[in-house]
Amino acid sequence: MILMRENTILELYETMLRSRCLEEAITRLWEEGYIFGEMHLGIGEEAIIAGVLSHIIPGDAIATDHRSTPPFLMRGVDPEVLLLELLGHQKGLCLGMGGHMHLFNQELLLTSSGIVGSSGPSAVGFALAAKYRKTNNIAVAFFGEGAMNQGMLLESLNLAASMNLPVLFVCKDNNWAITTQSNEVTGGVLLDRVRGFGIEAREIDGSDVKAVWQATKTAIPRMRGGKKSPYFIQAHCTHKEGHFLGDPLLRFHRAPKKEFGAVTGPLTKSVLHYKGGRIDKRIGSVAKVLSLIAKSRMQLSDSKDPIKRLEKDQKELGKQFSQIQLAIQSEVDALVTGVMNTLKQEVAQ
Ligand SMILES: Cc1ncc(C[n+]2csc(CCOP(=O)(O)OP(=O)(O)O)c2C)c(N)n1
Ligand SMILES: [Mg+2]
């Protein structure tokens, strides 16, 4: 194990917390109706993004999925420009047309897409360019475990292996793909699948930022070296907001009385409807929905929260953590107030 300096731990904490506070502010803006459409947050995966990106150097490329706010923020995109993008403003990162999912930054070689699995081909392209240009840069692909069943991601693993491309594949495994539990739709063992391509792979606890930092610190120098080769990390995590903000599975746990009728009404109707499948099948489906709601509860637990985990693991840094909390919260508050005031003035003009 490589020794971690106290400063590194504090920097990782600050990076994760800035992302968390910004996404909590985004949650409020979404709830107030300022941000339109579905909103997928990276709350719960901050340790994976922070731990990996802390080893990135200029010229490295990052391709990410629909949970793009943490990687874009942590890679150095101005948070104001990022927030304006989510608000659909023309001064946003992609002129307000990309939303939170379809983003690009040429200077930082940073891209995101809502097409599940597409970070694989993007990262392979970036890595091929780095290889042709004979730089020591790498490309990182972030994706969920659901994407591991997408053909294009498997093709990317194959190409990266056969062409010796320096791609770090980072699978953020929360075991859910929207409302599907991934172990129900995934054959075999993911690491075995990856090793079948001849790619070195390891599994870590993605809620432990120190574990992610260590794993990446070990993997990346080998990828930058003479023998370019891909590497795969499977990092387990939990999304505390479920698939997206307002996730119906979690809404039930948060306000059971209020949601009871909203859930049971349509389910009862679907069982009693005069048309449809056999009654035993219908009852089976209802039981499956109810069991999914019950299982989704575990996502609400704090036990896999990477920020709380670091606070618990490094109790001796409590004082410094508190100072960082105060500073980051006021930084994000000032950012959001400033942006919203500017927008309100623009609307009033
Ligand atoms: C090619 C494609 N198929 C389906 C979808 C719909 N979709 C959006 S997110 C998602 C689940 C992705 O699961 P995972 O990759 O595990 O990421 P997570 O949301 O769990 O972080 C699906 C199926 C899509 N956006 N793109
Ligand atoms: Mg998933």
- In this prediction the pTM is 0.96
7 pLDDT above the threshold of 80: yes
Q: Which residue's CA is the nearest one to ligand 1's atom 7? A: 116
Which ligand lies nearest to the CA atom of residue 101 in the structure? 1
Q: How is 103-163 classified by DSSP, letter by letter?
A: -EETTTTEEE-SSTTTHHHHHHHHHHHHHHTT-S--EEEEEEGGGGGSHHHHHHHHHHHHT
Q: Tell me the per-residue pLDDT of 131-146, one tens digit each, with 9 for 90 and over.
A: 999 999 999 999 999 9
At 300 the pLDDT is: 85
Q: Is the pLDDT of residue 301 over 90?
A: no
pLDDT over 80 (residue 42)? yes
Mean pLDDT of 16-34: 97
Q: Could you give the angle at the alpha carbon of 148 between the alpha carbons of 50 and 163, nearest 5°? A: 85
CA of 150 to the centre of ligand 1 (A): 10
Tens-digit pLDDT profile for residues 70-127: 999 999 999 999 999 999 999 999 999 999 999 999 999 999 999 999 999 999 999 9
Ion ligand 2 contact residues with beta carbon within 5 A: 144-146, 174, 177
Q: Report pLDDT for 266.
A: 83
Percent of the chain with pLDDT over 70: 100
Q: CB neighbours of 182 closer than 8 A, spacing ≥ 6?
A: 145, 146, 173, 175, 176
**pLDDT reading at 226 higher than 80:** no
Q: Which atom of ligand 1 is nearest to the CA of 243?
A: 19
Contact residues for 296 (Cβ-Cβ < 8 A; gap 6+): 176, 242, 247, 249, 250, 252, 253
Which atom of ligand 1 is found nearest the CA of 174?
20
What percentage of the chain has pLDDT greater than the value 90? 80
For 235-290, the pLDDT digits (tens) are 999 999 999 998 888 888 988 888 888 888 888 888 888 888 888 888 888 888 88
6-238+301-348 has which fold? Rossmann fold (3.40.50)
Specify the pLDDT at position 85.
97
Q: What is the pLDDT of residue 45?
A: 98
Residue 325 to residue 319: CA distance in whole angstroms: 10
For residues 180 and 273, give the distance between their C-alpha atoms in angstroms, rounded to a whole number: 25
Over the chain, what is the mean pLDDT?
Answer: 95
The DSSP result for 294-322, as a single string, is: HHHGGGG-GGG-HHHHHHHHTGGGHHHHH
